[in-house]
Amino acid sequence: MNLDFAARRQNLIAQLPAGSVALIASGAEQIRNRDVDFPFRAESDFLYLTGFTEPDCVLVLIHQSVLEGSEYANGCHQAWLFLRPKDPLQETWQGRRLGVEAAPQTLAINQAWSIDELDDIAPKFLSQAHQVYFSFGQLKDWSVKLADWLNGLKAQVRKGVAVPTGLCDLDSVLHEQRLIKSAQEIELMRQAAQISVQGHIAAMRATRPGAYEYQVQSALEHAFKMAGSERVAFNTIAAAGDNACILHYTENNAPLKDGDLILLDAGAEWQGYAGDISHTFPINGRFSPAQKQLYELVLAAQQAAIAAVKPGNVYDAMHQASSRVITAGLVQLGILQGEVETLVKDEAYKRFFMHGTGHWLGLDVHDVGRYKIDGQWRTLKPGMVVTIEPGLYIPLDAEGVDAQWRGIGIRIEDDVLVTQSGHEVLTLGLPRRVEEIEQWMQQR
């Protein structure tokens, strides 16, 4: 799909004040152990603005006012890229590189240089800038370089060299831009969501007593790759039995026991965009009475939260809807005692439902964008994508809880797009109701 990265860059720099320069890095490869690197994945901000996936790159966006009077002035904002040069020896060992010469035309960049030239060239454009924007989330990575560049400029003040006076957080602008997805991004997210569905279906086929969590994980991730996904969007959670009460369980090495549930939380990445699904179902294909009651409660909470996804509603409306359903259901089952309104106000449900009902989704599985504006929950707008994922977690050692409920962890999660008229569930296709799940498992 042809995404207009140049338009994204122009939109971003146009939002910055005159005299601005923005710095965005792709990131560096990281050592896993000794001579082995972790698989590299470009930083999402860099990927969003370039579509380029090589490490050791820096994108520089320059407001047209900075270049006035220079040889690069053309009346337009500029995008410069510093990247790894071609190197036959390194490419023989490590893989092909785009190179400096091909970068401008391939990536629609104004200028390209070797990353080795960044320290020499950066002071030249910074001396004409008033503000330098970069992600404060990467302050540790930028601090040494910026200190060297700015101190070098300060040493030349007597020669008339200027120094930027403002260091600004680019996240406040760029992440708000990323929050609203374009039509092209939404289509990529639909594909990520549906590949994720295929993986969860494959995992259901592989689930049976005596198998291991990692075997279910393997079936799920195999289906992702066979459908064209290069990688998972995050570390897969395959949690059987009481392991499901550990929210970010990733050991995935326990056997599947007859009579337990398994909770899967996994998503495929498609062209950088994440899918994210949680699915809980019985290992032997049949819910016990207690499992069924808790599962149906979580499903009702999820449906209530999804119904709250529409333009004009505040973000927190989804959590308010789900937590109210969860609380009322726990009272009805005797797990909580008291008046529902009081329990909701006191957040008594947090003992068993301790996380939020969802999060933004996009290039990152926990995607960027503020949840509150000036201390108030923000309003949902078309183009936003959220996950809806209520859950219940009652560990084996839960004090004061009847034994029938203990050792059960349930989470149900779908990816939901805010549309002009309401919402669209991107992850349709999994059996969700108890009867559907049991029928599907029996007919595998």
pLDDT exceeds 90 at position 68: no
Active site residue 414: no
159 has pLDDT over 90: no
Statement: residue 72 has pLDDT above 90: no
**pLDDT-based confidence at residue 222 (cuts at 50, 70, 90):** very high
DSSP string, 180-241: S--HHHHHHHHHHHHHHHHHHHHHHHH--TT-BHHHHHHHHHHHHHHTT--EESSPPEEEEG
Residue 393 annotated in active site: yes
411 given a catalytic annotation: yes
Reply yes or no on whether the pLDDT at 153 is more than 90: yes
77 has catalytic annotation: no
**Given 413, 414, 415, 423, the catalytic residue:** 413
User: Catalytic pick from 133, 249, 295, 393?
Assistant: 393
DSSP state for residue 110 in the 8-state scheme? S
**For 85-144, what is each residue's pLDDT tens digit?**
999 999 999 999 999 999 999 999 999 999 999 999 999 999 999 999 999 999 999 999
Whether pLDDT at 23 is above 80: yes
Look up 444 and say whether it is catalytic: no
String of b and e for 109-136 (b: at least 16 CB within 10 Å)?
Answer: bbbbbebeebeeebbebbbbbbbbbbbe
Q: Yes or no: say if 394 and 405 are a contact pair by the CB < 8 Å rule.
A: yes
**pLDDT for position 206:** 98
Catalytic annotation on 355? yes
**Residue among 34, 158, 248, 374 flagged as catalytic:** 248
d(CA 417, CA 380): 10
CA angle 62-63-66, nearest 5°? 85
| Statement: residue 1 has pLDDT above 70 | no
Is the pLDDT at 271 greater than 90? The verdict is yes
276 is catalytic: yes
366 has catalytic annotation: yes
| Integer Cα distance of 201 and 432 in angstroms | 12
Catalytic residue among 32, 366, 433, 444: 366
pLDDT tens digits for 354-393?
Answer: 999 999 999 999 999 999 999 999 999 999 999 999 999 9
All structural domains of the chain, each given as residue ranges with its CATH number in brackets, are: 5-178 (3.40.350.10), 180-442 (3.90.230.10)
Distance CA 275, CA 267 (A): 4
Catalytic residue from among 171, 221, 242, 276: 276
Average pLDDT, stretch 330-345? Answer: 98
Mind listing the pLDDT tens digit for each residue in 244-270? 999 999 999 999 999 999 999 999 999
Residue 42 near residue 54, CB atoms below 8 Å: yes
Separation between Cα atoms, residue 357 and residue 411, nearest integer Å: 10
Task: Compute the distance between CA of residue 121 and CA of residue 109 in angstroms, rounded to an integer.
Answer: 16
Q: Which residues contact 110 (CB under 8 A, 6 or more apart)?
A: 72, 78, 79, 80, 104
Would you say residue 353 has pLDDT above 70? yes
